[in-house]
Structure 1
């Protein structure tokens, strides 16, 4: 990493802003000097041309005076077509023209050329232009050489001014950019300080929100929302772990008690009864572990597969057939060809959980109904039990929730079935709600329909 990379963010931003300003000012200063140089040369050429035109007017009126009036020019000469000097100012050569050869041809063509002043005994360079005119003897050219001293002095002064002004402005911009960047990044320091106080152990700590409603304020609000979601997820995970540990303690304690009694009183305990009761507890733990694994899978960021075309009618019949011999009969009233897309095993688990819950609470029967309404597929599980109080219709979908505290755990399950059902349905883009069945409760699952063909319902018992 170079020196620039080791600097602080403030320093890098300030240096970058200062460098950009310096480059901009440098380019602007160069363009200004070029424009000034061109403007001064143009003004100087125009002055020399007017002087040449004045002399040309004298030449056109007749025999020009010799020496010629200078009109402020360093040297002025009248040259005929052969390159001979017809007249000159007092400081000029009356035998040799100021320019000759290609330079003379360029001047006659209207160009302005620069000439070393030492050729005429001048310390500064000269600027030579030509003005063609007609004399009595034929066409002639008036050559006018003017000094570039004032033009060069003006450009030099402008260079000094541009350099000094550019340096001063660059320094001022560097200080200003540093102050602005320090002020702009002050909320970042506040956010960093607030982040250092967050330990991840809960407590609801949040980052300070800078005033002003700018991008940093919106970032702080977004980060606080994220922290809120993380706190909620952490609290949910802690509660889940605590509940899972609590649920596992009961079968483990029962199994340990059975084994300890069998070991302590081998003659008074039937080993077959002990094995049978231990197997019941092991099965109970197995069901609980299976439910916990399903919830862990649903909590993972991996999406649930939703690419299978599933007939809800067939799924309902299959689940009903699987609970034949339950304490209450389960019947199915299904519409023809109600389909959805999803993961068949997951949706089968949803229906098994809902039917199992209904069987536990029903008085005499459970009915599974499959219908379609537009773009939605509707699956309802109805029992004729005591129903669910309105205040508990959301709470029952929370993990490890049981409404009947007097019910034993073997009959009531682990309290995860409805939570798993809702998680799976939500992962499939659907909803689960509870309604009054009068009497009893109706659990309604709504899913996106893949194909809806309304047909006569058929009942299966």
Structure 2
């Protein structure tokens, strides 16, 4: 099976990949920079030589035109000069060149004068090592001045520079690769600490958090976000454990009652009223059934499984509930909201049951609309709830005192289901003083307004 180079690359550590990529990019940049540097340096040196050759050729041509040309021509900076007469013979030259053979033939001289630019010339045929840069200028009376200078020193300097770069670049790359390896490793150290901290967190750990680096960078933001997530998970776990504990406690009482009634009936069957026993067991069974239904409803809402979203007339829903309980209803017009009819009916039923359980003589239900919001209120004239406890009663398995205890018919889940359901429909619920009694107020957005699901 053929090896997969990409697979091998993906299996390497992030530190290795970042160091390799940064080193490769740096090597490419250095190679390109070295190439450009040598090229620019070579052109700059060649331009300098060309300018010096041109200046020397102009000086000699001016001296020739003025008839003051010395013999031999003085050599300046090892510049070679030949003065060619109209007949093509050398009439004057510097001591460092041949006085018999011109550097450029007649055709080359004419072309060099016409182009007005310097050119390369092999100096070996003239016993001059290396190439030459040659320039030709025309003077008066058919005289041509040829000036040249050796390019060997420049070639040698460029070659030396190339060798230095060729040897120094790998050393520089190795140094920078090592520095990158250390810097990237130090940069990734907070991530390694996060991984180690995450590995130490177990399912039984409590209040564990990941280490947060001091630097205000992306890793700091990641650690903070992860710690916030762990906090939310801990809160959810705590609520789940509390729910399981409270549910077990609530289930134990009716189960113990059923067991006790059956044990007594079986121990004394001859004197037992089996109908009374069956009624007692049925009552506890219904209580278990209600508790199971409430727990299932809370579980569905906690999991965020949305119910049906369809238009529901809250006024019609309240009217049906009021008729079933024989209550008075104040609902002048329809109040259509978007939601699950069964869930909203459970909200209304729980509120009415709670009000009936604690009312002294009367319970009232009202529905009205105001500024795109449907408002449902259920009021009773009972003992009410102190203001400081009106939020706490929405917690699960919360019962305040004997006036609103489990013996009165609740397990402390009714109002918790109400708030969770209402918030899932984008609404709010709160309790307020009815003077006397208590009023539950539910507000839901009307169907023609956008909803925000919790």
TM superposition score normalised by structure 2: 0.86
Deviation at 1:400, TM superposition (A): 1.4
Whole-Å separation in 1 of the counterparts to 2:63 and 2:233: 98
Which of 85-94 and 195-204 deviates more? 85-94
Whole-Å separation in 2 of the counterparts to 1:362 and 1:69: 128
Deviation at 1:135, TM superposition (A): 2.6
Say whether residues 1:331 and 2:336 are aligned partners: no
In structure 2, the residue matched to 1:380 is 377
Say whether residues 1:294 and 2:300 are aligned partners: no
Cα separation, partners in 2 of 1:81 and 1:336, compared to 1, 3 Å: farther
Deviation at 1:340, TM superposition (A): 2.7
* 1:41-440 superposed matches below 5 A: 41-61=46-66, 70-72=75-77, 75-78=80-83, 84-87=88-91, 89=93, 91-92=97-98, 94=100, 97-98=103-104, 105=111, 108-131=114-137, 133-136=138-141, 138=142, 141-269=144-272, 271-305=274-308, 307-324=309-326, 330-405=327-402, 409=406, 411-440=408-437
Question: Of 20, 23, 29, which aligns to 1:18?
Answer: 23
Whole-Å separation in 2 of the counterparts to 1:403 and 1:380: 22
Deviation at 1:422, TM superposition (A): 0.1
Contact 1:381 1:442 in 2 (8 A): yes
Contact 1:108 1:141 in 2 (8 A): no
Cα separation, partners in 2 of 1:270 and 1:158, compared to 1, 3 Å: same
Whole-Å separation in 1 of the counterparts to 2:101 and 2:50: 25
Contact 1:111 1:129 in 2 (8 A): yes
Whole-Å separation in 2 of the counterparts to 1:406 and 1:447: 30
Contact 1:402 1:412 in 2 (8 A): no
Contact 1:202 1:231 in 2 (8 A): no
Question: Of 10, 24, 34, which aligns to 1:29?
Answer: 34
Greater relative contact order: 1 or 2 (C-alpha under 8 angstroms, separation 6 or more)? 1
Deviation at 1:415, TM superposition (A): 1.7
In structure 2, the residue matched to 1:457 is none
Contact 2:84 2:102 in 1 (8 A): no
Contact 2:358 2:403 in 1 (8 A): no
Cα separation, partners in 2 of 1:235 and 1:185, compared to 1, 3 Å: same
Contact 1:385 1:441 in 2 (8 A): yes
Q: Which secondary structure state, in structure 2, belongs to the residue aligned with residue 122 of structure 1?
A: coil
Whole-Å separation in 1 of the counterparts to 2:288 and 2:202: 35
Structure with higher helix content = 2
Whole-Å separation in 1 of the counterparts to 2:306 and 2:108: 85
Whole-Å separation in 2 of the counterparts to 1:267 and 1:407: 39
Question: For each residue in 1:201-224, what CA deviation from the matched residue of structure 2 results, as whole angstroms up to 9, or x when unmatched?
Answer: 142122222224333333322222
Q: Which secondary structure state, in structure 1, belongs to the residue aligned with residue 383 of structure 2?
A: coil
Whole-Å separation in 2 of the counterparts to 1:121 and 1:312: 112
Whole-Å separation in 2 of the counterparts to 1:253 and 1:45: 112
Cα separation, partners in 2 of 1:389 and 1:48, compared to 1, 3 Å: same
Deviation at 1:351, TM superposition (A): 1.2
Cα separation, partners in 2 of 1:144 and 1:408, compared to 1, 3 Å: closer
In structure 1, the residue matched to 2:452 is none
TM superposition score normalised by structure 1: 0.84
Whole-Å separation in 1 of the counterparts to 2:177 and 2:145: 55
Deviation at 1:74, TM superposition (A): 5.9
Cα separation, partners in 2 of 1:26 and 1:99, compared to 1, 3 Å: farther
Question: For each residue in 1:79-129, what CA deviation from the matched residue of structure 2 results, as whole angstroms up to 9, or x when unmatched?
Answer: 6899x4554636237456525757963663123322222232222112222
Q: Once superposed, what is the RMSD of the aligned Cα atoms? A: 3.1
Deviation at 1:185, TM superposition (A): 2.9
Q: Which secondary structure state, in structure 2, belongs to the residue aligned with residue 54 of structure 1?
A: helix
In the alignment, structure 1 segments of 5+ residues that lack a partner are 325-329, 453-461
Deviation at 1:259, TM superposition (A): 4.1
Cα separation, partners in 2 of 1:370 and 1:74, compared to 1, 3 Å: same
Whole-Å separation in 1 of the counterparts to 2:418 and 2:204: 31
Deviation at 1:267, TM superposition (A): 4.3
Whole-Å separation in 2 of the counterparts to 1:426 and 1:215: 34
